[in-house]
Amino acid sequence: MYREINHTADVAYEIEANSFLEILNDILNILKENYLPSINCKNPKFHKYKIRENEDAIFDTVNDWIASIELGYFPVELDKDYVVKFCSFEHLDGTGFKALTYHNLKLERDKNKLKLKVVFDI
């Protein structure tokens, strides 16, 4: 579960999830909602990420996704083994991000939940 929160200049979200995989899936959904891609998935590409469940993994993975979008491939699915399916797209109808920042990027465990705030540079 995620929700957009107010931030002075950039776009920020607060995420609460049951697992690290769920956090990454929420961020993938945030990208889809903001970029609004028109996907063409005739020849998908796949990439397996070696994930350590920490802030650095979130930062590196999400910024890799943003770089892939700039190269014409959108991350569309993430499986339980951290394999991401990338598809080309016809066009983007939304507004994209320059990068995920380290600002306030701190993964917290609260009972059985993971909590995280993410800030995207626009």
Structural domains of the chain, with CATH: 2-121 (3.55.10.10)
Who's near 1: CB < 8 A, 6+ residues apart? 15, 16, 17, 26
Whether pLDDT at 93 is above 90: yes
Rounded to whole angstroms, how far apart are CA atoms 45 and 75?
9
pLDDT at 5 (0 to 100): 75
Q: pLDDT tens digits, residue range 25-44?
A: 999 999 999 999 999 999 99
> Does 120 score more than 90 pLDDT?
yes
Note the pLDDT of residue 121. Answer: 92
Q: Average per-residue pLDDT in the chain?
A: 94
**What's the CA gap between 57 and 96, in Å, rounded?**
21
Does the pLDDT value for residue 103 go beyond 90? no
pLDDT of residue 111: 87
- Percent residues over pLDDT 90 in the chain: 86
Q: What is the pLDDT of residue 9?
A: 63
Task: Give CA–CA dist 82/68, Å, rounded.
Answer: 16
Question: Is residue 90 pLDDT above 90, yes or no?
Answer: yes
